[in-house]
Structure 1
């Protein structure tokens, strides 16, 4: 229908036909009974309706001709629908905001621009929730990008958008990676004022110590030659807390950005102090190299030394080539992962759960250091794992990573590797994340004396109440599944085994929690399981784990 309309226009369709088709699309699009895919299709048709094609120069959005605010009233985006539907509805709303000041002068009620500002404020309010889902923050920045793209020529919209985003960063600095990505994607109409506003937020409100990492990451993107005194004051204050290698690298990235902007006397003093103050030898070498470059290079030469461009002419001097090789030897290079890391079989023993890792070298590496970071605050900080040498085809011993959960829950570990190549270069890389499952936290109780196992189990069973809770599950296991469950998955945790009648199992969890199970005889359609625990938070995790074993069995 739209193809015919675009091809024949008024020769085939009258103005009444156009209005009727457009009205049906606007009325049917937001119908709640429609699935999401059909809803998105209707919105796509509205945006591609011939009379609603944006006018003006190439790649510039302009107001639609027929799609007015009265027709779009049912299509206005709200916070509750699916993210894809909200973004799709946001596009026609942005088109309605073009030239919105003229519509306000004509006495229209409820301005589309005011509705857009309230919607964006609501999205930012949800993204500012501390510990909120990442999807809410992602949706907020996607909507901000769409508004900046469609309304790049509307300062009346971009100014409150910039102020709102700066306030969002002030509330939640942990969104710094989202801001950096947004600055890389938007045009100069929003990029420059947002960069200035974010820089002002960082240097005027240093924040608490845990926000320092995010402030440094943001400052590395927005720092320039303006306001050097405030920026250097922030860096001096941050240097006293940069005991971690990652924080030191973030601090040096800000210094590198200031060097590209021209540096200054204050920066030279800071680099000289960092070369003596930083504990890590790599950070000291970086600071010393930047200080030497600042002292001996200026202007364009300093920019070329810090960020050589592929478009720059090749330098034929052997002295320059030698200096570039020397600089590469001092710097930590980012490289593809030469190591494959996986989680090995579990062995529940010792006072704390230990993750057994299997490392496989894809190429020879030396002095390998694996650093782990847990997303969220579920676990205490994890120590690094060191491997002297890792070569392809040569078996290695399991790598032991002790876990320190603050509460028994699964987790996701981000992994970073620092190593030395056979040529002597120091490199770093990010490895695929590792998952810590609920079963990786299982620990056995000490073995009771021979003949006292049943009394020991009954004592544990009774100690879970009244503080804890009891639940009963039904596991749809096949014949023989109970024996496989007790002898394979839970064998180290079995206190009393009476196959094929029952298994009595006791599991010790971190932070002094316990899970006690009674697996009774297999019936025709499954196995009844009685579960007790003294920690209510463990109950849904234990239920999901047992249901997963039943599905596998």
Structure 2
């Protein structure tokens, strides 16, 4: 019966809606409660039965009536539960809390919630230990946590028990002291807030609460609604403007409240930093609501708080400064906090997220005399001078987040300066951005490229008005692009973002003009086909600007379309032809079209008559007909529907001037865009790699030690040797069925790389894909330039059964790092001993080299059986040592184009040691991450 309930509860928690489709919530709840009342059920089964009530109480108890009945049943089970069933009793309290809160019984102060509240208070006061092992403390701790949850969700619920909670805190000397201290602070804060919302509440009401006289405390509230009817402001009381904080006028005589606050503050150092921060925050709210308590009550805690490096405590200190400003913090305190933030922002022992937090605090520093009130924008404190901020000057050795944060902070600092001398702060930032550009120019990785462009954008955002620096940056960016054309998407994105964010778009226009001039002046001999595709994208972006002359763009298009011995030949490439058409399309709607008419018509006519792709010819012929037939207004209406007068009607009217028949034929000739994925590539099960031991022993040859490595190296002298990785996929339909695409024909797959780590992939043609037939295989041959994981964007053009041509995007293909692993490409006739000799030779070479070679050590705890299973599952194709030896495994992994990863796995007394040697040090982080993944407990559980 227990296993049956385990399966049912697991099925419910996995998919509650599907589970309840076969039954009802009331029926399932009744079965749960009936089984909980059964004395024959074990405690383990009852714990399983309580999990639905803890995780889905709203689903099982949708109304307060059902919730109250369920709570009464659970309290009955709790009363009958034996004292030794500690875990079950704790879980019952948690389930009761969830049910009463989610069914609104607690907020409506129902009888069941009041009974449960009394039960929690009774359990929390029971300090007797029946078994003498301290187990009663766990039950009391659970009861205290449940009280905290009840009070947090229903503010004021425990206000009448404030004196009792305070007494529990004072009596506790064990770890429950912290829990009761947090509970008392929460109840005190909510009680003061509720009193401040009442009419006529005064010091006597607060004093009565602190002394436990509940009848006197709430006599003014007998005719009003429950005190928790508006709990929303409690979430953001201290962060709101101080004028909106409710006030409890008690006069100067608040010695009872002052005594409670002093007692809590004096013992706060005993709590954990996170609990201290929560307590101080709520006590701040209490002091803010009671003017009779001066903020100086926190003065004794400031010395400890100002010297801490705990993020939560420093944050609550800044909130305290924001709330009380010069009422609590002197000018010397303010200067000290600022210097402390500067020190912590670059402390070498702190983690990067912590240092970034402290830098963000500098940008939102609460000043004693703030210039702006409640402004959420970043602003610097007046006391932060360039001399102080100099400790945060960015360097190229900073990580990406730290570099950008420091650059942003220093930009704001130097933005306040007047015209500076040569070599000042602004000049340093400009040189820093230039140094980042030089690193990108010399082959910086993808992450560094992104960091540089973000840094350049930040610099432009702050100093776009300083012409001598921004103009220099524009020319440097242009030269960088001409040497590395694959950076075009970053430059286009920078132009878009600066145009949107900068008040004056002059820099963007000047930058695009410089790019246009640089591209048009590239000698034909230096123009390559890959670069040409990026140049066309940049020129298409330049053509969107109405204030930029486009004659240079048209001259460039004419030059690349005119055959010459030095210029690259476009041939019939559809993508580059489409890039030329994209530029022409934007020029068709350019305001200066009248001056561009003749050269643009020549370009379109050349494409229509001489280009090698039929689709490009058809589009060029259509554009040529439009430009020679329609006026500029009608042309704009056709190419930008909705902008011309009459919208779609203008489009139909202008098209009727060209075509005598209806628009029907255009739908057959056009390529339609599918709004949902139609096809997908699913990884096929890979065939196991051939093992060297499978060769015919009579044909194997053994190689001497000194010859093995030399012979192996001679193979790698050929750059095309073992340079490809073959991945096999199945082209299938997407899971969401569309009957129109059950049968598709002439599928053309196009693959777009997301980085420069691989050579471009050729398009792949598939004759047909039928939903009711086996999926055709698609083989990708990747040729890496660098052995890194990547993502491939895939699109497809195909013909449906109705004769229409469709274009659709496929889900991206993720090429993971382990998919790049290849066995050692040694001759197939070599014996395993020869491969082991190559392994040893490579290991000695790597361990002796000082260039790109690197060695490392990875350790983990694995049993012998788990280690053998791990090697068999992940490294068997790459094993070069004798598989029967369990004391050491030698593994050689080859990663195209010419990288090696060598592993020596040895089980030691304390852990399994993975000795790593690689001739490409940049692979070490990925290798460590891969080993951490395959040796994790989750991976072991799956295997």
Tell me the TM-score range normalised by the shorter chain.
0.7 to 0.9
Aligned residue for 1:241, secondary structure, equals coil
Q: Verify: 1:179 aligned to 2:491, yes or no.
A: yes
Deviations 1:479-502 (A, max 9, x none): 387589669975799999879999
Contact 2:899 2:919 in 1 (8 A): no
Cα separation, partners in 2 of 1:343 and 1:460, compared to 1, 3 Å: same
Aligned residues: 539
* Cα distance between partner residues in 1 of 2:773 and 2:786: 37
Deviations 1:493-549 (A, max 9, x none): 9999879999999999988999999999x99999999999xx967998998889977
* Cα distance between partner residues in 2 of 1:499 and 1:128: 49
Deviations 1:108-166 (A, max 9, x none): 78522212211221222222223x21111111111222233334554455333333333
* Cα distance between partner residues in 2 of 1:97 and 1:507: 51
* Cα distance between partner residues in 2 of 1:75 and 1:510: 41
Where is the helix percentage greater, Structure 1 or Structure 2?
A: 2
Greater Cα shift, 499-508 or 317-326:
499-508
Q: Counterpart of 1:242?
A: 570
* Cα distance between partner residues in 2 of 1:65 and 1:402: 60
TM-score, normalised to structure 2's length? 0.48
Pick one of 338, 358, 377 that aligns with 2:730.
358
Contact 2:520 2:556 in 1 (8 A): yes
CA-CA distance at 1:315 after TM superposition: 2.7
Cα separation, partners in 2 of 1:15 and 1:327, compared to 1, 3 Å: farther
CA-CA distance at 1:391 after TM superposition: 4.3
CA-CA distance at 1:458 after TM superposition: 3.9
List runs of 5+ in structure 1 lacking aligned partners.
Answer: none
Contact 2:385 2:413 in 1 (8 A): yes
Q: Counterpart of 2:475?
A: 163
Aligned residue for 2:648, secondary structure, equals coil
Q: How does 1:213-362 map to 2 (within 5 A)?
A: 213-223=533-543, 226-239=548-561, 241-243=569-571, 244-261=573-590, 262=593, 263-309=596-642, 313-316=646-649, 319=653, 330-335=669-674, 336-347=676-687, 354-362=726-734
Contact 1:100 1:112 in 2 (8 A): no
Aligned residue for 2:383, secondary structure, equals coil
* Cα distance between partner residues in 2 of 1:485 and 1:34: 38
Contact 1:60 1:150 in 2 (8 A): no
Pick one of 69, 74, 96 that aligns with 2:386.
69
* Cα distance between partner residues in 1 of 2:343 and 2:866: 59
Q: Counterpart of 2:751?
A: 372
Deviations 1:277-321 (A, max 9, x none): 222222222212221221123333323322334797533475568
Deviations 1:187-236 (A, max 9, x none): 32432222222222222235431421221111111135644332222113
Q: Verify: 1:133 aligned to 2:512, yes or no.
A: no
* Cα distance between partner residues in 2 of 1:477 and 1:189: 67
Contact 1:340 1:361 in 2 (8 A): yes
* Cα distance between partner residues in 1 of 2:900 and 2:351: 45
* Cα distance between partner residues in 2 of 1:151 and 1:178: 20
CA-CA distance at 1:377 after TM superposition: 6.9
Contact 1:444 1:493 in 2 (8 A): no
Aligned residue for 2:415, secondary structure, equals coil
Larger Rg over CA atoms: 2
Aligned residue for 2:386, secondary structure, equals coil
Pick one of 133, 136, 142 that aligns with 2:454.
142
Pick one of 335, 340, 364 that aligns with 1:24.
340
TM-score, normalised to structure 1's length? 0.77
Cα separation, partners in 2 of 1:518 and 1:109, compared to 1, 3 Å: closer
Q: Counterpart of 1:397?
A: 776
* Cα distance between partner residues in 2 of 1:371 and 1:326: 27
CA-CA distance at 1:432 after TM superposition: 0.3
Cα separation, partners in 2 of 1:477 and 1:538, compared to 1, 3 Å: farther
Pick one of 83, 93, 96 that aligns with 2:400.
83
Aligned residue for 1:419, secondary structure, equals strand
* Cα distance between partner residues in 2 of 1:18 and 1:508: 59
Contact 2:823 2:892 in 1 (8 A): no
Deviations 1:68-88 (A, max 9, x none): 212212222222222222222
| Higher RCO (C-alpha under 8 Å, 6+ residues apart) | 1
Greater Cα shift, 178-187 or 362-371:
362-371
Cα separation, partners in 2 of 1:127 and 1:353, compared to 1, 3 Å: closer
* Cα distance between partner residues in 2 of 1:536 and 1:80: 23
Q: Verify: 1:112 aligned to 2:425, yes or no.
A: yes
Where is the strand percentage greater, Structure 1 or Structure 2?
A: 1
